[in-house]
Amino acid sequence: MKILLVDDEELQLIRLEKTCRKIMPDATYYCYTNPKKAYNERINEKIDIAFLDVEMPEINGIILAKKLKAINPQVNIIFVTAYDNYALDAYKLHASGYVMKPVTEVKVKNEIEGLRYNIELKKTKPLQVKCFGNFEVFKDGIPLKFHRQKSKELFAYLVDREGSSSNINELNAILWEEDHKSYLRNLIADLQDTLKEVGCEDVFIKRHNECFIDPTKIDCDAYEYKKGNPDAIRMYRGEYMIQYSWALFNDSEELKDF
């Protein structure tokens, strides 16, 4: 996660950075007292959250926010100000939040928990799997094209199993109400070919009458959620693989209160 902090008062900027680091210690921070420099140096950066002071010389926070949203419409803008008369401007810009000075950990945390736009999880593997909302699979950020929709559903079920093996009878019962074991074998071959085409064939494993995936070879929002990743927890909106009737996300009470 990349966070931009801009405040022309250096002490306020230091305080804001310290507060944010307590809540999001693993994020990458870009801190500026000069809004014009912040824009020029980070124009090609994919910023996830921008904390912007409103009252600044040359370019105020509202103008800077407009410029940032012009290059990245889904950047989360959180205005930081000592004045409350900019709320309407913030609303028109579809800002994610509005923090009144003095900045406190509670105020920042409240805004972070209600971000308007989801933050992309850090990519560590070639294959990324999105389970929250609709199930989707990406290879280096590009949607994976499955030859058959049922092949995609088969992969979704194996992702849901998190590495546990499933036999042919179980998979047949999940995908169809009738016996389609012969067609299921075609789907397995099709899934193997699809993954092989993008160099990820080692994700899927078939042994005799059962198959499973290697969960360590994919980035998955649901897996990160269960690990307690704050970014993944913020992404979850109560929807999990919504196109599949068998899908049920068992999030723990512990994580709900994270």
Asked if the structure places residue 159 within a domain, the reply is yes
Q: Which residues contact 228 (CB under 8 A, 6 or more apart)?
A: 255, 258
Q: Is residue 48 part of a domain?
A: yes
Q: What's the total number of domains in the chain?
A: 2
C-alpha 54/C-alpha 177 separation (Å) is: 59
Q: What is the DSSP string of 168-235?
A: HHHHHHHH-SS--HHHHHHHHHHHHHHHHHTT-GGGEEEETTEEEE-GGGEEEHHHHHHHT-HHHHHH
Do the domain assignments include residue 120? Answer: no
Last residue of a domain, one of 55, 80, 112: 112
Q: Is residue 121 part of a domain?
A: no
Q: Look at the block and give the residue holding tokens 């309407």.
A: 88
pLDDT tens, per residue, the chain with 258 residues: 899 999 999 999 999 999 999 988 888 999 999 999 999 999 888 899 999 999 888 888 989 999 999 998 889 999 998 877 666 666 667 788 888 889 999 999 888 877 877 777 777 888 999 999 999 999 987 899 998 999 999 999 999 999 999 999 999 999 987 788 788 999 999 999 999 999 999 999 999 889 999 999 999 999 999 988 877 887 888 899 999 999 988 664 444 443
| Same domain membership, residue 146 and residue 28 | no
pLDDT of 96 reads: 80
CATH number, residue 190: 1.10.10
**Residues 96, 116 contacting (CB under 8 angstroms):** yes
| Cβ(35)–Cβ(56) below 8 Å | yes
Parent domain of 131? 127-256
* Domain presence at residue 75: yes
Asked, for residue 119, whether it belongs to a domain, the answer is no
Buried b / exposed e over 80-112, threshold 16 CB at 10 Å, is bbeeeebeebbeebebbbbbebebeeebbeebb
pLDDT of residue 258: 38
| 100 shares its domain with 186 | no
Q: Identify the domain boundary among 112, 139, 165.
A: 112
pTM: 0.64
Clarify whether residues 132 and 232 are in a common domain. Answer: yes
Q: In this structure, are 9 and 50 located in the same domain?
A: yes
Same domain for 175 and 207, yes or no, is yes
